[in-house]
Amino acid sequence: MKIGISCHHTYGGSGAIATELGKALAEKGHTVHFFSQAAPFRLGAFSRNIFYHEVEVMHYPLFECPFYSLALASKIAEVAFYEKLDVVHAHYAIPHALSAMLALQMLEDKCKDSKCFKLATTLHGTDITVVGADRGMQNVVRLAINKSDGVTAVSDYLKAETVRMFNPKKEITVIPNFVNTALFFRATKNEIREQLGIKDEKVVIHISNFRPVKCIGDIIRIFNALSRSANVLLLLVGDGPERSEAEVLVRQFGLIDRVRFLGKLVDIVPLLSIADVMLMPSNAESFGLAALEAMACGVPVVATMAGGFPEFIVPGTHGYLLAPGDIEGMTEKALLLLSDHNHWRECSEACVLQAKRYETALLVEQYEAFYTRLLAGV
């Protein structure tokens, strides 16, 4: 198949999943064309079946906001026509699905017998729960969903939220996030511990784009409580709007020597491989890809019952799930994992097994079957 993938290039789960999907499809022999504003952060090395089309936005003094969505639509139309794409897969409803819709309209006269390509849209989370919840954006998100030929959501939770909020005309297919366990596995390297100045401390980790839904302040508060009863160190990977507040809190609590702000890193496996517990106290999370990647590396997760976490984290087996904001509860469970090595080992092993149920190859097959159904018009 010839597949176009439109995604955010920035540090975040939807861009990661879109890129990993495209790479896996290309390895299976499909031709994949990526569309984004800059190279997606996980795109990596050259592959003969992968083409990347940078969307250049026109800047003109009259336009206060550059028209990325329109430039993307033009680019999709051009590439879809000349490369004869079968499917354009929009990751995140806004603006990708809308731009692809517009591209289809641009091509209307060129592909008279049928639509030039089928439009697949994957809903990732905040496109529904944050953007879709915004009154000013609701109608545009609804249009993107209803005009797609097929829609997937990354969890049952997100499907249910989408149905509740938009009552879409079409059935939504759930295809969960996935992880390549040939790349994500525990490979502890002492050099990393040395480079980070870690001696015998237990390592707590968090990875995200530091948006408000991630509750970064709760992470610092949990860690502050943990540090009173355990010898611990916190690795914070990623960056975003809540980072400054987190730095202020770390200073206020006098934790500066125990917290490492590592910024946006692509190769997270070496860090996950030295981690003992991942903290994900999000107040909304459609799936939580970072947690699945941590589990593949044998890291139990202390997260919230919010959103999609309960669909792949079994409390007591792969970590623990508490109510959002329950700092005391999350501290207690993290401490349990950090202090009882046998329990930690059992959870760590169970996490690795659970991650294998979300193996890239299995879920990519589901996407291929989904494209095939779209092309067959069923």
The binding site for ligand GMT (CB under 6 A) comprises 12-15, 17, 92, 124-126, 154, 177, 208-209, 211, 213, 284-289
Taking a C-beta distance cutoff of 8 angstroms, is the pair 72, 99 a contact?
yes
Under DSSP, is residue 300 helix (H, G, I), strand (E, B) or coil?
Answer: coil
Q: How far is the CB of 292 from ligand GMT (least distance, A)?
A: 8
Q: Which of 186/211 has CB closer to ligand GMT? A: 211
| β-strand partners of 86 | none
Which of 7, 6, 1 has its CA nearest to residue 31?
1
Please name the helix (run of DSSP H) or strand (run of DSSP E) that holds residue 35, with its range, or none.
strand 31-36
Q: Which is nearer to ligand GMT, 250 or 292 (CB)?
A: 292
| Rounded Cα distance, 149 and 157, in Å | 21
Distance separating alpha carbons of residues 185 and 351, to the nearest angstrom: 11
Contact 275, 299 (CB under 8 A): yes
Beta strand 232-237 with 259-263 is: parallel
The span from the first CA to the last CA of the chain, in angstroms, equals 17
In the complex, minimum distance from the CB of residue 232 to ligand GMT, in angstroms, rounded to a whole number? 24
Closer CB to ligand GMT, 20 or 276, in the complex: 20
Least Cβ distance, residue 208 to ligand GMT (angstroms): 6
What does the alpha-carbon distance between residue 29 and residue 32 come to, in Å, rounded to a whole number?
A: 9
Smallest separation (angstroms) from ligand GMT to the CB of 231: 30
Report, in Å, the least distance between residue 35 CB and ligand GMT. 16
Nearer to ligand GMT, 227 or 360 (CB): 360
In a 10 Å sphere around its CB, with 0-12 CB exposed, 13-18 middle and 19+ buried, how is residue 247 labelled? middle
Nearest distance from C-beta of residue 329 to ligand GMT, angstroms: 21
Distance, CA of 39 to CA of 173 (rounded, Å): 28
Nearer CB in complex with ligand GMT: 213/374: 213
Residue 154 or residue 279: which is nearer to ligand GMT going by CB? 154
Contact indicator for 286, 129 with CB cutoff of 8 Å: yes
Closer residue to ligand GMT (CB): 126 or 331: 126
Quote the least distance from Cβ 41 to ligand GMT, whole Å.
10
What does the alpha-carbon distance between residue 301 and residue 321 come to, in Å, rounded to a whole number?
8
Instruction: Give me 283's structure tokens.
Output: 């107040």
Residue closer to ligand GMT by CB (options 116, 246) is 246
Least CB distance to ligand GMT at residue 290 (A): 7
